[in-house]
Chain A
Amino acid sequence: MAMIQLGGRGREERAGAGEPTTVNGLIQARIDGRISRRELTRRAAVLGIAAPVVGVMLHATSDHAFGAPSRGRALPTRLAQEAVPVSGPTAPEGTPAQGGTLVVGTASEPDTLQPYISQTVTAADFQTGIFDGLLGYDSTQTLQPALATEFAISDDGLVYTFTLREGVTFHNGDPFTGEDVVNAWKIIMDEEFGAFNTQGWDKVTDIAVDGATLTITTGEVYAPFMSYVPVTDLVPSSAIAKGIDSFKQEFGRAPIGTGPMRFVEWKAKEQIVVERFDSYWGNPPKLDRVVTRLVPDDNTQLVQLRTGEIQMVGSGGALSPTRVDEALEIENVVILEHPTQDWQHMDLKHVDFLRMTKVRQALDFATPTQDIIDKLLKGRAVRSIADQVPGSWAHNPNIEPRPYDLEQAKALLAEAGLTPGDDGVLEGKVPTTDPNVGDGEVKPFEIELWFVSGNSETERNCQVVAQSWNSIGIKTEVFNQDISTIWGPEGYQFTDAMTASMWTWTNGNDPSDEYYWASSQIPDRPDGSGGNLPAYFHEYNFQAEIDDLTARADATTVQEERKAIFDQIQEVLHREVPVIFMYWPNSYPAVAPNIGGFWPSAFTYLMWNVQDWYLME
């Protein structure tokens, strides 16, 4: 079975005129007229593609599909331009202007700009421009000095020493000192305050300030420390001193930081304005003002990009892959492309047949992930094999994804003791004690496939997956619920039905993945905390192995050693398929061609380098 290239696109396969041996290859060959309908059917059968899917393929490749001309109106088969992969900051030719106003569009209003309680990406997009941490990530996932100029970690991995930048002032004129870090630690750990993210800070036992030297001591070796504590946004102590209510409410609507941009106004549901902070410690910002328009839907966003009402979208406001084609038709807008840290997957509730490794592997074989990427997303995503993004140091490049192969799927299901019943639906004995041995009551293989309502991307995917699973006798029905209900205590995760659900997790800049898989992260009740929900009813059959690996990964600070552990974790995840890993959707920022310095990435939020943005004359 030929492997499909990672991130490869159907279009590119056209170049090779050899024997198409993949579904996409076949379809493409048919479209190109290289093979006949009958030939397509025959080869599909050889490839083990079930009849219903062939039906879809045939329909797809029939003469009227793919925009064959009708009544003289041809659908453009090839777009005039393509999205441009981001390789660095945008650099238009010509003379940069000094000053000016840039208008940005974003999809959703931030919840609050309070850096310790906000939860949304849109909020972080602003916060990176308004605040600084001791350090900050750049778009190459490298930590850069910010309010600290240097740092050192002790040999035992417990003490972190930072040299603070001197002469830095907050937007309100307060000088920045080490005491601000101490106060941030105190308020973040204050239970009454209820910070959103205490990760890393909860490991701190002491912070000592000695002039420009800041020493943070932790109680245990915690590898992800550097991606949490030093990058935390710092605020003036005077704001914290105003009390919790004021610090939550007023500060959240009028934030004060040391960043290149100073907050000006927030008109609810309309716009948020920031302007240049003249006393910024770094390179002086080039723009006078950045106005962010709150445009709630994709459509309006596209129209406003077209009319020039907005000149940039990115990060929380970036275009979704499904909208890119329309955006590409807009003249005078450059569509950029970069990977994300979001992994699209289907979780598999570990009950009944889904506890059996072979069944989960079979489902992976029966999921046409590459087709979904190539056809539905038009290649605008990168295939995933586990939970580390390609391009990150923690990614294991040696694992090949399972191909779409219904024969192998059927064989594995048969091995798991599942045979077709009278109505064609597979049935068999469910496991009781040993998760891999069916010895209990006989049940039909019926599975609910869930997606969050309103998400057209996962809705489409689910339809395709259901069609494929149904074709091999797994009775699959698609359901959806709104985001609050689906994750609530009455959501699918806590029913006794076999379920799969398609959604994304988003990784942070540290590869730690204990939260997703460790037994300590299985909630003890439906409204409890913890990310390991598939194992709510039954622990994974590889639970001990993954517990040990994830714990060791967090307690190892040497990157090469950590990488070896993460490589192993990814092998286990790929072997066991606790969830079906699908893809990393790309992000599509769009920007007017006269804007320079814009450098979005998977590792940064929109305004991380706002001081470098400029307009052309």
Chain B
Amino acid sequence: MLRFTVRRLLGAIPLLLGVSVLSFVFMQLAPGGPDALYARNKRMSQEQLDQIRENMGIGRPVHEQLAVWLGNLLQGDLGTSYTQYRPVADVIWDAFPNTVLLMTAGLAIALVFALLFGTLAARKPYGPFDNLTSFVSYFGLAMPVFWFGLMLQILFAVKLTWLPSANMRGVDGGGVLDVARHLVLPAFTIAIGSIAGWSRYVRSSTLEALNQDYVRTARAKGVREGAVMTRHALKNALIPFVTVASIDIPLYLTGAVLVETVFSWPGMGRLFFDSLQVRDYPVLMGTLVLGAVLIVLGNLIADLAYGLLDPRIKYR
């Protein structure tokens, strides 16, 4: 187990390096360059403009820039934001916990609802509840996630005014309840795809588990149906489910960009989107690399959790 973990960790390093280099290469595509806006500033003299370019390292050979950037990256230095004049790490750190909060809340909501709907549906396949969840799931999977967010916003924030329309905290807020109120709509939005997909998956694997000998044995012994469900069927259904869930992690990053934009959530997605508008390349690169790290980590955790849940798997 330990060896496997180490091996997977080591395997992730070239992956991350590759992602970093590719990120850098993509940044070199810029025609306007980060200085385009400065050049159109009417108070900027040619000398100042040249000075700024010098400071940004614009004009140096690409491989030199790459070497400097990678070197700094390894030391945890992501550079300085072009627009906020402070370290990228600080800028991202302001947003990162908020995104983690949103993603965690989304995952939790998805888990709870998927397990609930999935197992309930599995109790009576093709029963009314199964049909209903199946129908709703199909819709959940077919909807553009941001559109679902817009619809929730119109309904709950504008028409019913039950929940705040945007932001993460009230003016004097920051308490758990306040943040939770602001969290409901974006977290539900980001989770909708997973709720839909996972609940179908939980239903399938529960059904499958219910067909197993040990479940029949348990039933034969007179174990109550609820206990059969939770203790036997569900536990085994969870194993493949972890894998499926881990695949959705990139989906949550994608979702973060869209959902945070819709709900003005102060996270990495919105940071990324805002930086895109002003061509803040250091911030964009930082976000890209961090995003890749999250995906690789997510996959790693899924691998490990999979092993923990299913003792039959041998790690070579």
Picked from A103, A112, A293, A523, the residue with its CB within 8 Å of the CB of B84 is: A112
Whether the pair A483, B270 counts as a contact (CB closer than 8 A) is: no
| Stretch in A235-243, A263-271, A555-563 touching the partner | A263-271
Whether the pair B32, A268 counts as a contact (CB closer than 8 A) is: no
The chain B residue with its CB closest to the CB of A109 is B274
Whether the pair A101, B274 counts as a contact (CB closer than 8 A) is: no
Whether the pair B85, A271 counts as a contact (CB closer than 8 A) is: no
Whether the pair B86, A523 counts as a contact (CB closer than 8 A) is: no
The chain B residue with its CB closest to the CB of A266 is B94
| Stretch in A80-88, A215-223, A416-424, A488-496 touching the partner | A488-496
Whether the pair A309, B36 counts as a contact (CB closer than 8 A) is: no
B264: which A residues are within 8 A, CB to CB? Answer: 269, 294-297, 300
Whether the pair B46, A528 counts as a contact (CB closer than 8 A) is: yes
Produce 1/0 per residue, A472-506, CB < 8 A to B. Answer: 00000000001111111111000000000000010
Separation in Å of the B24 CB from the closest CB of chain A? Answer: 19
Picked from B31, B35, B42, B167, the residue with its CB within 8 Å of the CB of A531 is: B42
Q: Is A227 an interface residue when CB atoms closer than 8 A count as contact?
A: no
Whether the pair B277, A483 counts as a contact (CB closer than 8 A) is: yes
Whether the pair B85, A489 counts as a contact (CB closer than 8 A) is: no
Whether the pair A268, B266 counts as a contact (CB closer than 8 A) is: yes
Give A502-543 interface residues, CB cut-off 8 Å to B: 505, 515-516, 523, 527-531
B44: which A residues are within 8 A, CB to CB? Answer: 196, 529
| Stretch in A245-253, A326-334, A355-363, A601-609 touching the partner | A245-253
B87: which A residues are within 8 A, CB to CB? Answer: 249
Give A121-147 interface residues, CB cut-off 8 Å to B: none
Given contacts A270-B167, A291-B171, contact A485 B45 (CB under 8 A): no
Separation in Å of the B114 CB from the closest CB of chain A? Answer: 30
Picked from B39, B51, B95, B261, the residue with its CB within 8 Å of the CB of A528 is: B39
Whether the pair B42, A271 counts as a contact (CB closer than 8 A) is: no
Q: Is A36 an interface residue when CB atoms closer than 8 A count as contact?
A: no
B47: which A residues are within 8 A, CB to CB? Answer: 191
Bound complex: CA of A505 vs CA of B234, how far in Å? Answer: 65
A505: which B residues are within 8 A, CB to CB? Answer: 42
Q: Is A111 an interface residue when CB atoms closer than 8 A count as contact?
A: yes
B42: which A residues are within 8 A, CB to CB? Answer: 505, 515-516, 531
B316: which A residues are within 8 A, CB to CB? Answer: none
Q: Is B271 an interface residue when CB atoms closer than 8 A count as contact?
A: yes
Q: Is B279 an interface residue when CB atoms closer than 8 A count as contact?
A: yes
Given contacts A249-B86, A303-B165, A529-B46, contact A489 B36 (CB under 8 A): yes
Q: Is B48 an interface residue when CB atoms closer than 8 A count as contact?
A: yes
Given contacts A194-B55, A303-B158, contact A527 B39 (CB under 8 A): yes
Q: Is B62 an interface residue when CB atoms closer than 8 A count as contact?
A: no
With most chain A CB atoms within 10 A of its CB, the pick from B87, B165, B271, B278 is B165
Given contacts A293-B167, A296-B264, contact A485 B36 (CB under 8 A): yes
Separation in Å of the B124 CB from the closest CB of chain A? Answer: 43
A196: which B residues are within 8 A, CB to CB? Answer: 41, 43-44
Bound complex: CA of A267 vs CA of B48, how far in Å? Answer: 31
Whether the pair B158, A484 counts as a contact (CB closer than 8 A) is: no
Q: Is A114 an interface residue when CB atoms closer than 8 A count as contact?
A: yes
Q: How large is the interface on B (under 10, 10 to 19, 20 to 34, 35 or more residues)?
A: 35 or more
Bound complex: CA of A483 vs CA of B274, how far in Å? Answer: 13
With most chain B CB atoms within 10 A of its CB, the pick from A195, A268, A515 is A268
Picked from B52, B95, B167, the residue with its CB within 8 Å of the CB of A268 is: B95
A109: which B residues are within 8 A, CB to CB? Answer: 274
Separation in Å of the A190 CB from the closest CB of chain B? Answer: 10
Separation in Å of the B71 CB from the closest CB of chain A? Answer: 20
Whether the pair B85, A487 counts as a contact (CB closer than 8 A) is: no
Bound complex: CA of A528 vs CA of B47, how far in Å? Answer: 10
Q: Is A616 an interface residue when CB atoms closer than 8 A count as contact?
A: no
Whether the pair B43, A300 counts as a contact (CB closer than 8 A) is: no
Whether the pair B274, A485 counts as a contact (CB closer than 8 A) is: no
Bound complex: CA of A252 vs CA of B90, how far in Å? Answer: 13
Q: Is B169 an interface residue when CB atoms closer than 8 A count as contact?
A: yes
Separation in Å of the B275 CB from the closest CB of chain A? Answer: 11
Bound complex: CA of A487 vs CA of B33, how far in Å? Answer: 10
A271: which B residues are within 8 A, CB to CB? Answer: 169, 171
Whether the pair B84, A269 counts as a contact (CB closer than 8 A) is: no
B49: which A residues are within 8 A, CB to CB? Answer: 527-529
B3: which A residues are within 8 A, CB to CB? Answer: none
Bound complex: CA of A293 vs CA of B171, how far in Å? Answer: 8
Bound complex: CA of A245 vs CA of B14, how far in Å? Answer: 34
Separation in Å of the B79 CB from the closest CB of chain A? Answer: 13
Q: Is A322 an interface residue when CB atoms closer than 8 A count as contact?
A: no
B170: which A residues are within 8 A, CB to CB? Answer: 309
The chain A residue with its CB closest to the CB of B266 is A269
Bound complex: CA of A367 vs CA of B34, how far in Å? Answer: 34
Q: Is B168 an interface residue when CB atoms closer than 8 A count as contact?
A: yes
Whether the pair B37, A487 counts as a contact (CB closer than 8 A) is: yes
Per the CB 8 Å criterion, the residue count for chain A at the interface is: 56
Whether the pair A253, B36 counts as a contact (CB closer than 8 A) is: no
A194: which B residues are within 8 A, CB to CB? Answer: 48, 51-52, 55
Whether the pair B166, A295 counts as a contact (CB closer than 8 A) is: yes
Give B48-75 interface residues, CB cut-off 8 Å to A: 48-49, 51-52, 55
Q: Is B224 an interface residue when CB atoms closer than 8 A count as contact?
A: no
Separation in Å of the A601 CB from the closest CB of chain B? Answer: 21
A485: which B residues are within 8 A, CB to CB? Answer: 31-32, 36
The chain A residue with its CB closest to the CB of B82 is A111
Q: Is A213 an interface residue when CB atoms closer than 8 A count as contact?
A: no
Bound complex: CA of A198 vs CA of B46, how far in Å? Answer: 12
Bound complex: CA of A484 vs CA of B157, how far in Å? Answer: 34
Separation in Å of the B164 CB from the closest CB of chain A? Answer: 7
Given contacts A271-B171, A296-B264, A309-B164, contact A488 B45 (CB under 8 A): no
Q: Is A54 an interface residue when CB atoms closer than 8 A count as contact?
A: no
Q: Is A117 an interface residue when CB atoms closer than 8 A count as contact?
A: yes
Whether the pair A488, B33 counts as a contact (CB closer than 8 A) is: yes
Q: Is A304 an interface residue when CB atoms closer than 8 A count as contact?
A: yes
A111: which B residues are within 8 A, CB to CB? Answer: 83-85
Picked from A114, A270, A487, the residue with its CB within 8 Å of the CB of B32 is: A487
Bound complex: CA of A358 vs CA of B169, how far in Å? Answer: 58
Given contacts A249-B85, A269-B264, A489-B32, contact A307 B161 (CB under 8 A): yes
Whether the pair B271, A484 counts as a contact (CB closer than 8 A) is: no
B91: which A residues are within 8 A, CB to CB? Answer: 268
Separation in Å of the B85 CB from the closest CB of chain A? Answer: 5
Q: Is B312 an interface residue when CB atoms closer than 8 A count as contact?
A: no
Bound complex: CA of A119 vs CA of B94, how far in Å? Answer: 22
Q: Is A199 an interface residue when CB atoms closer than 8 A count as contact?
A: yes
Q: Is B221 an interface residue when CB atoms closer than 8 A count as contact?
A: no
The chain B residue with its CB closest to the CB of A528 is B46
Q: Is A197 an interface residue when CB atoms closer than 8 A count as contact?
A: yes
Picked from B32, B35, B41, the residue with its CB within 8 Å of the CB of A119 is: B41
Picked from B31, B45, B169, the residue with its CB within 8 Å of the CB of A529 is: B45
A269: which B residues are within 8 A, CB to CB? Answer: 94-95, 264, 266, 270-271, 274
Whether the pair B46, A114 counts as a contact (CB closer than 8 A) is: no
The chain B residue with its CB closest to the CB of A192 is B51
Bound complex: CA of A112 vs CA of B84, how far in Å? Answer: 6
Whether the pair B33, A268 counts as a contact (CB closer than 8 A) is: no
Bound complex: CA of A491 vs CA of B32, how far in Å? Answer: 8
What are 10 A-B residue pairs whose CB atoms fall within 8 Å in the complex? Answer: A117-B85, A249-B85, A249-B87, A295-B166, A296-B270, A483-B37, A484-B33, A487-B40, A523-B39, A529-B44
> Measuring CB to CB, which residues of chain B are less than 8 angstroms from any residue of chain A?
31-37, 39-49, 51-52, 55, 83-87, 91, 94-95, 157-158, 161, 164-172, 261, 264, 266, 270-271, 274, 277-279
* Known pairs A109-B274, A267-B266, A527-B39 / 12 extra A-B pairs, C-beta < 8 Å: A191-B48, A202-B45, A248-B85, A249-B85, A269-B270, A269-B274, A300-B165, A304-B166, A485-B32, A487-B39, A527-B33, A528-B46
> Measuring CB to CB, which residues of chain A are less than 8 angstroms from any residue of chain B?
101, 103, 109, 111-112, 114, 117, 119, 191-192, 194-199, 202, 248-249, 252-253, 267-271, 291, 293-297, 300, 303-304, 307, 309, 482-491, 505, 515-516, 523, 527-531
Nearest first, the 4 closest Cβ-Cβ pairs linking A and B are A488-B32, A269-B266, A488-B36, A268-B94
